[in-house]
């Protein structure tokens, strides 16, 4: 199976860059544009900009932390439901499973868009398998992704649930320093540090630095290449998606 290939951007990417880049992502044949949600960056606003500049490209948030942005406060107006995936996670909530379970229920009442849950641990993955339309994995090696997808299929018990993997990726050797900084930052987050220890890997081991590393991740339904460039400029991101597009036909 060949996984769908998508592009991921940070939520702080400015609107002008999104407006210029999204049509290129669509034209080059990528499945979707994912935008994460971080303080100072609104993924839904970014996707509205992308929606206005595209016609077919799927649009996804990866992911909105519900402890910071509760499900009943999310404004989905102006987003095409047939192209939209709402990715949600627990953030730093003290009761993460209950928060995400309630968030899924709230969103089911508000929209027909697909709902994907960002999940590190087994209990959150099981919740996603049972109640969501997909699970978004993060910082996994190919071996760990294979195991996770096998568990997903078992837990889904016949439900159609997508396994999506978010992978930090560089297409230019000059971006290696930025990739290492990103890896080090996540290694310092307790929940991620525990996950890396459980897997027995370093964060940098889960990244992609060349086209040759992509095929190993075909165990999932979709691979989101989270673009890491030296400075995040439009020119750098354009170069990234052009290079990554070659991987689609490689």
pLDDT value for 215 = 82
Strand, coil or helix: 227: strand
- CA-to-CA distance for 149 and 90, rounded, in angstroms? 21
Would you say residue 185 lies in a domain?
A: yes
Would you say residue 14 lies in a domain?
A: yes
Closest CA to 36 of 113, 88, 72: 88
Would you say residue 163 lies in a domain?
A: no
- CA-to-CA distance for 228 and 178, rounded, in angstroms? 7
Task: Classify residue 1 by its DSSP letter.
Answer: -
pLDDT value for 250 = 62
CA triplet 113, 118, 120: central angle to 5 degrees?
Answer: 160
Identify whether the C-beta of residue 206 lies closer than 8 Å to the C-beta of residue 142: no
Identify whether the C-beta of residue 51 lies closer than 8 Å to the C-beta of residue 79: yes
In which residue are the tokens 């290079």 written?
Answer: 243
pLDDT value for 247 = 87
- CA-to-CA distance for 239 and 51, rounded, in angstroms? 22
- For 115-134, letters b (16+ CB in 10 Å) and e give bbbbbbeeebbbbbbebbbb
Would you say residue 167 lies in a domain?
A: no
pLDDT value for 196 = 93
**Structure token pair of residue 102:** 């309630």
Would you say residue 53 lies in a domain?
A: yes
Measured between alpha carbons, how far apart are the two ends of the chain, in Å?
15
- Sign of the Cα pseudo-torsion (142, 174, 6, 100, in order): positive
Would you say residue 165 lies in a domain?
A: no
**Structure token pair of residue 49:** 């900009």
Would you say residue 111 lies in a domain?
A: yes
pLDDT value for 1 = 59
Closest CA to 139 of 177, 94, 196, 181: 196
Would you say residue 166 lies in a domain?
A: no
Closest CA to 7 of 68, 155, 66, 21: 21
Identify whether the C-beta of residue 228 lies closer than 8 Å to the C-beta of residue 14: no
pLDDT value for 2 = 82
> What is the extent of the structural domain holding 102?
4-158+172-248
The number of domains in the chain is 1
**Structure token pair of residue 162:** 């997508």
Closest CA to 118 of 59, 187, 51, 192: 192
pTM to 2 decimal places: 0.96
Other CB atoms closer than 10 Å to residue 201's CB: what's the count? 16
Q: From first to last of the 250 residues of the chain, give the pLDDT tens digit.
A: 589 999 999 999 999 999 999 999 999 999 999 999 999 999 999 999 999 999 999 999 999 999 999 999 999 999 999 999 999 999 999 999 999 999 999 999 999 999 999 998 999 999 999 999 999 999 999 999 999 999 999 999 999 999 999 999 999 999 999 999 999 999 999 989 998 999 999 999 999 887 767 888 889 999 999 999 999 999 999 999 999 999 887 6
What's the CATH number where 80 sits? 3.20.20.30
């Amino acid at each position: 199976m060949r996984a769908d290939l998508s592009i991921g951007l940070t939520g702080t990417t400015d609107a002008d860059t999104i407006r210029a880049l999204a049509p290129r992502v669509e034209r080059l044949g990528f499945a979707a544009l994912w935008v994460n949600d971080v303080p100072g960056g609104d993924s839904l606003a970014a996707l509205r900009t992308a929606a206005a500049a595209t016609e077919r490209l799927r649009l996804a948030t990866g992911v909105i932390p519900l402890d910071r942005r509760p499900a009943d406060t999310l404004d989905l107006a102006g987003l095409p439901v047939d192209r939209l995936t709402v990715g949600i996670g627990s953030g730093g909530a003290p009761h993460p499973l209950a928060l995400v379970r309630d968030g899924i229920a709230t969103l089911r009442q508000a929209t027909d868009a697909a709902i994907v849950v960002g999940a590190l641990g087994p209990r959150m993955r099981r919740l996603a398998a049972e109640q969501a339309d997909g699970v978004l994995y993060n910082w996994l090696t190919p071996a760990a992704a294979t195991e996770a997808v096998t568990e997903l299929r078992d837990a889904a018990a016949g439900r159609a649930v997508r396994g999506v993997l978010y992978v930090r990726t560089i297409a230019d050797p000059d971006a290696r320093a930025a990739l290492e900084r990103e890896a080090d930052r996540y290694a310092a987050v307790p929940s991620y540090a525990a996950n890396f220890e459980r897997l027995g890997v370093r964060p940098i081991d889960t990244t992609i630095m060349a086209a040759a590393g992509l095929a190993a991740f075909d165990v999932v339904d979709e691979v989101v290449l989270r673009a890491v460039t030296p400075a995040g400029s439009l020119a750098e991101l354009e170069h990234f998606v052009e290079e990554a597009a070659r991987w689609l036909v490689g």
